[in-house]
Structure 1
Amino acid sequence: MKKLRNNLIGIEQGDPVLFSDFEDGGEMWTGRGQRERRRRISFSEPFRSPPAIQIAISLWDMDATTVIRADIASETITESGFDLVFRTWGDTRVARIRVGWTAIGELVDPEDWDLY
């Protein structure tokens, strides 16, 4: 359990299109080549410590003639951002993906003293 120890709690959200490969015959749409996409998400201001991240696919556009396989994750979470990661495998064809995310965590209190 993440325990928040101050009264300055920050919530930041986003909903970026991670990729749109059907327009230009990209690897996710053709079903060949690299099957992972990453995007570094930077927060508008840093949190005191790495925040809790909630992610969900808010739009998926998949080929209905293949099996739909998807893995989505937040990785490399720091005070200033995280990596949004989408993976697929096999013959799955993905036209585009949009991912909603929410970060919740403590903010730096301007009245805190930094002794080091």
Structure 2
Amino acid sequence: MGIQQGSRMLFSDYATDGPMWTGEGRRESRHVIVFAEPFLAKPAVMVGISLWDMDHKSNIRADLSAEEVTATGFHLVFRTWSDTRVAQLRADWTAIGPVRDEDLWEVE
């Protein structure tokens, strides 16, 4: 089994008046993550918010997920909705899955 992990700043919309900060309704920020080394099969991927800066004047609504997971990578997706205002968000991820074991010998 192998483990890979990373961190990704998804957006800083307060600096650019981006949609997570100025918009309303359903909004999505999607990022492609490519593993440094491919796994032998689809790994288990866990994601978590490591930094969030939210406006205190509205309800905090957040959905963070790993989607379209393959042996080579996945989509890191953040969603919010209604009047929630998100200034910035950073997410961390960990992938655990099968990797080639250099101690295994293939006998033919």
1:57 and 2:49 equivalent?
yes
Could you tell me which residue of structure 2 aligns to residue 68 of structure 1? 60
How far apart, CA to CA, are the structure 2 residues paired with 1:31 and 1:78?
Answer: 32
Cα distance change on mapping 1:43 and 1:112 into 2, 3 Å:
farther
| 1:27 and 1:34 in contact (8 A); partners too | no
Cα distance change on mapping 1:27 and 1:112 into 2, 3 Å:
farther
| 1:51 and 1:106 in contact (8 A); partners too | yes
Considering only aligned residues, what root-mean-square deviation do their CA atoms show, in Å?
1.6
Could you tell me which residue of structure 2 aligns to residue 25 of structure 1? 17
Q: CA deviation at 1:53?
A: 0.6
Q: CA deviation at 1:112?
A: 6.9
Identity rate of aligned residues, in percent?
Answer: 54
How far apart, CA to CA, are the structure 1 residues paired with 2:61 and 2:23?
Answer: 12
In the TM superposition, 1:1-116 aligns within 5 A as 9-32=1-24, 35-109=27-101
Give the counterpart letter for 1:45 in structure 2: E
How far apart, CA to CA, are the structure 2 residues paired with 1:32 and 1:89?
Answer: 7
Cα distance change on mapping 1:97 and 1:64 into 2, 3 Å:
same
| 2:26 and 2:79 in contact (8 A); partners too | no
Structure 1, unaligned runs of 5 or more: 1-8
How far apart, CA to CA, are the structure 1 residues paired with 2:105 and 2:89?
Answer: 41
Give the counterpart letter for 2:7 in structure 1: D
How far apart, CA to CA, are the structure 1 residues paired with 2:74 and 2:47?
Answer: 11
Cα distance change on mapping 1:112 and 1:22 into 2, 3 Å:
farther
Structure 2, unaligned runs of 5 or more: none
Name the one with the larger strand percent.
2
Using structure 1 for the length normalisation, give the TM-score.
Answer: 0.84
Give the counterpart letter for 1:85 in structure 2: V
